Each structure stands twice: as C-alpha cells, then as structure tokens.
Amino acid sequence: MFLLASDFDRTFYINNYDFKKNVDALGGFMKDNLFVIVTGRSYQDYMNITKNYVPVNYLVLNHGATVLKDDKVIRSVCIDNKIKDELKKLFDFDNIEYFATKDKLSRVSINEDDLSKINISMKDNLVAKKAVEYINSHCFIRISLKLYQVRRISATHLSILVLLLALIEIIFTQ
C-alpha cells in the first residue's frame, strides 16, 4: 500500500482540463492505495471547485488545522481563544476585511470559539505591521507581512512531512 499526498492549488488543480485528467488517473491508484489532498483552503472553498469529484481517503484543510475522513472531521487544531480575543482587542473586525473558518464551516464570525483559521486583509500597512508583530511575538506560528495584507493566521502551519507523519499515525491507529 502506498500513501500519496498532493497539494491542491497549482498542483492537483491547475485548470479544469488538467483537473479532470488528474481525477481520472486516480481511479486505478485508489484501489490499493491511499490518496490525500493537502490544502490551505477551507472546506467550502475546496468543495466549490471539486464538487466532491475527487476521491480522497483523507482531506487536510485550513493549512493543516483540519483533517477529514469520509467527509467527517477526525482531527482539528484550533486557534487559542485567548489569541483570538487579543486580536479582537487590537483590531476592529467590523471595519476590516476578514474571514474565519471552523472545522468544515467557512466565513464564520470572529466571535465563534475554536476557529481553525483567520484570514485578515488590511489596507493600512502600519496596522498590518502591528498585527504581524503581535502574532509573531505571542503565537507559535510565524507570518510574514505582505503589502496590504496580513497573510493567513492558521492554527498550525505544518510542513508536508509533519502532515504525512500525522496522517500515518491516524491511519494506523484507527
């Protein structure tokens, strides 16, 4: 048995033509092997593109924070609510563009508990820099400043190797 994991954007899904070819190629492989999609996308964003056409054994979403098997969440790592509450004190979420995810839900309120990802976009570079400095000094993750945008704040940014080791543990302990 083999385990094949693939990133989604610009790897498994490049355009609709290549996407269909990749899905078709999985047919024979999946008979005796495991296939995993690993993506930073939320569940709803992923499903909007795939429409459930991709046969997967496991689906790793939200930059590694959410793992699904048979369309059910089997592992979820959440952003500490204290960190989220501090971000709410620092920024007026009513006046900035953001979205948050929670398990399979996308575009939930920042007021929800147990978020798996917060994506913040800011037009003020000074405010964005303040956010990056706070997060980098108080969280176990590190993010970088991109012009006019604070990149995704996710519960975990694991490397593909660490994700594969976690998946292997999940697979062989069930």
How many H helices and E strands in the chain? 5, 10
13-17, 54-58, 166-170: which range is least confident on average? 166-170
How is residue 148 written in tokens? 């006019």
In this predicted structure, what is the pLDDT of residue 159?
40
pLDDT tens figures, 93-150: 777 777 888 889 988 998 898 888 887 777 777 777 777 677 666 654 444 443 333 3
pLDDT tens figures, 37-82: 999 899 999 999 998 788 899 999 988 889 999 999 998 888 888 8
Domain limits of the chain?
A: 3-76+157-173, 81-154
**Other beta carbons less than 10 A from residue 77's beta carbon:** 17
In this predicted structure, what is the pLDDT of residue 47?
94
* Nearest C-alpha neighbor of 72 from the set 160, 164, 170: 170
Instruction: Answer whether 98's CB lies under 8 Å from 110's CB.
Output: yes
In this predicted structure, what is the pLDDT of residue 156?
42
In this predicted structure, what is the pLDDT of residue 148?
34
Q: Report the CATH fold assignment for 3-76+157-173.
A: Rossmann fold (3.40.50)
